[in-house]
Amino acid sequence: MRYIRGMHDATRDHGLQPFDGLLTRWGITNHELVEASVEQLNHKQVQKARKGRQLTLHLMQKLARALNDAAPAKIPKEERVNFQPYLHKHLFNYAKGHDPAWQDPNAALMPE
């Protein structure tokens, strides 16, 4: 079968990711994530990540760092020491080392 440009490639689309659920539970918008990032991160990259388009390892790690910068702002200052950073394998179900049974250690810190 010949590849036709523009056709949907099912192997690159992984559906909604744990990353999307975490942003929702933390109450972090795409814009807040882009603003929190000290690296070059744009809204299109965040949207692709949320929808489950396959990303490079580098971009997955960049998004994890941005989430680790944005999430503590949603926690009272005295509780920020209890925040445990996320790794890319926690955010994307197609990442190497992803554990579907992983439990979020920050669940109790999330806003109500």
**How many distinct structural domains can be found in the chain?**
1
Q: Are 77 and 50 in contact (CB under 8 A)?
A: no
Q: Identify whether 33 is part of a domain.
A: yes
What does the pLDDT look like over 54-104, one tens digit per residue? 999 999 999 999 999 999 999 999 999 999 999 999 999 999 999 999 999
Residue 5, domain member (yes or no)? no
pLDDT at residue 10, as a whole number: 56
Instruction: Give CA–CA dist 94/52, Å, rounded.
Output: 9
Answer whether residue 106 is part of any domain.
no
pLDDT computed for residue 9 by the predictor: 53
CA-based torsion, 92, 94, 95, 98: positive or negative: positive
Task: Write down the pLDDT at residue 102.
Answer: 96
Q: Which domain holds residue 76?
A: 14-95
Is 101 a domain residue? no
Query: Among 2-16, 42-56, 65-79, which is the least confidently predicted range?
Result: 2-16
Residue 8 pLDDT more than 90? no
CATH number for the domain spanning 77: value is: 1.10.260
Q: Is there a domain that residue 37 lies in?
A: yes
